[in-house]
Structure 1
Amino acid sequence: MLLISLSKTQKLIADYVRDRRLLMELTQEGLAERSGVALSTLRKFEQKGLISLDSFLKILMVVGGMEQLLDALKPDKPAFNSIDDVLKQDDNLIKKRGRRK
């Protein structure tokens, strides 16, 4: 778990996308045209990190990173190989309940 604010995270994501755009030697206008995202939306995103999910995904389709994003969002697989592993895990669980006042 990262201890970073949402606004800082948004700005970092915008910086990463801008860096990818620059590595591709694309201008903001070029990326806006290729992605179908309005230039004003792209500028606001690069400055403040604010963008809709739809527009963000359109930009990622052009600059790359969609696969990495999807991989990062995959849920962790359970560490169970058999039903016996599941049953052993259930035996080790300690149920906790809050006290009543």
Structure 2
Amino acid sequence: MLLLVSLSKTEKKLVNNIRKRRLQMNLTREGLAERSGVPLRTLRKFEQKGLISLDSFLKLLSVVGGLEEMVYILKPKEQSFKSIDDVLKSEKKTIKKRGSIK
């Protein structure tokens, strides 16, 4: 799988986005920690090093927003083809023939 964005850049962007949302809400780290139930020490570690558990990350999103969007974005896309037979059947359907001229 080819990654267009490095994991470290993604991590930094996520941290910055959470921090910006926190600041837009005029929340201190202490305030966000209290509202989310994430220990202040964990929140500091996240904002400084990008390290956090999934549970804590989701708790932060539930306060600053983005939890529903995260669930929606990660929803698996429906596959239109389940087998090679489905692919071959769809190719047969797309063949167009011209009518005969009389």
Please state which band the TM-score falls in when normalised by the shorter chain. Answer: 0.7 to 0.9
TM-score of the aligned structures, taking structure 1 as reference length: 0.76
Q: Deviations over 1:64-85 (max 9, x none)?
A: 10011011101112236xxxxx
Q: Secondary structure at the match of 2:4?
A: coil
| In structure 1, C-alpha distance between the alignment counterparts of 2:27 and 2:74, rounded to whole Å | 28
- Higher Rg: 2
Aligned to 1:19: 20
| In structure 2, C-alpha distance between the alignment counterparts of 1:88 and 1:75, rounded to whole Å | 19
Q: Deviations over 1:29-77 (max 9, x none)?
A: 0000111111111011111211000100111111110011011101112
Identity across matched positions, percent: 61
Q: From the superposition, tell whether residues 55 and 88 of structure 1 become closer, same or farther in structure 2 (CA, over 3 Å).
A: closer
Equivalent residues, number: 89
Asked whether the 8 Å contact 1:17–1:63 carries over to 2, the reply is yes
| In structure 2, C-alpha distance between the alignment counterparts of 1:90 and 1:64, rounded to whole Å | 44
**Structure 1 residue 40 corresponds to structure 2 residue 21:** no
Aligned to 2:31: 30
| In structure 1, C-alpha distance between the alignment counterparts of 2:37 and 2:87, rounded to whole Å | 50
Asked whether the 8 Å contact 1:32–1:38 carries over to 2, the reply is yes
Q: How far did 1:10 drift? A: 1.1
The gaps in structure 1 that reach 5 residues or longer are 81-85, 93-101
Q: Secondary structure at the match of 1:75?
A: coil
Asked whether the 8 Å contact 1:10–1:48 carries over to 2, the reply is no
Asked whether the 8 Å contact 1:20–1:63 carries over to 2, the reply is yes
| In structure 2, C-alpha distance between the alignment counterparts of 1:23 and 1:2, rounded to whole Å | 31
